[in-house]
Amino acid sequence: IAVNGSVQYLLNNNVKPFLYLLTDVRFLHRRREDFYNFSRNSQFTIVNLDVYEQASVDDQKYIEENCLIIRSFYRREKGGFLKKIKFNILKRVHKALLISVPLSKRGRLAGFCKDISIGYCSCHTIAYTAIQVAYSLKYGRIICSGLDLTGSCPRFYDESTSPMPSELSKDLFKILPFFTFMRKNVSDLNIFNLSD
């Protein structure tokens, strides 16, 4: 499973991605030709509903004909009373949806979905979505490359003389609770990270 610009690295090394995943509409808007190239050169492409809804009419047609569309259960991890009721009902209806609904209004949701056909739990990194996709495809062991949680590593697929640093570290306080939740609640999954 390849995400965002990492597909180019694979293609440059004659590796056809099994699955290309895109959840950031900015990537489609800023790098439209790359999106089409990556999608056409991957066996499967998955985009989220936000990407589809904010795409141009032509791009929506391409997505409908060539991509799988998944939806996030929420856009923000915080929410009021009604949102908490909604998620408490959803997790009872969908046993594959594991979600912690905090009592505090300021508390953040944390979740993991074992079946992306019903949705996925977003957490400020596409890697977490990719892990849920892999789990849904029945992978029990996942090896991540380029999942830099320290901010010290450049993007592994950018081989230029001044590669852009990863931006995950600025959202680390939002991301880590999801990985902690996953570790505690998804016991049949082994994840290895090749990054520092």
- pLDDT tier at 163, thresholds 50, 70, 90: very low
pLDDT digits (tens, 9 = 90+) for 73-102: 887 656 677 877 888 899 999 999 999 988
What whole-number distance in Å separates Cα of residue 118 and Cα of residue 61? 22
Residue numbers of the domain that contains 40 = 1-71
Same domain, 106 and 32: no
The CA dihedral of 20, 129, 142, 27, to the nearest 10 degrees, is 40
Same domain, 63 and 79: no
Same domain, 117 and 43: no
Mode of pairing for the β-strands spanning 97-100 and 110-113: antiparallel
Q: Which residue has the tokens 């990054």?
A: 195
Same domain, 176 and 107: yes
Report the pLDDT value the prediction gives residue 108, as an integer from 0 to 100: 80
11-15, 63-67, 81-85, 134-138 — which is least confidently predicted?
A: 81-85
The alpha carbon of 35 is separated from its chain's Cα centroid by a whole number of angstroms, namely 16
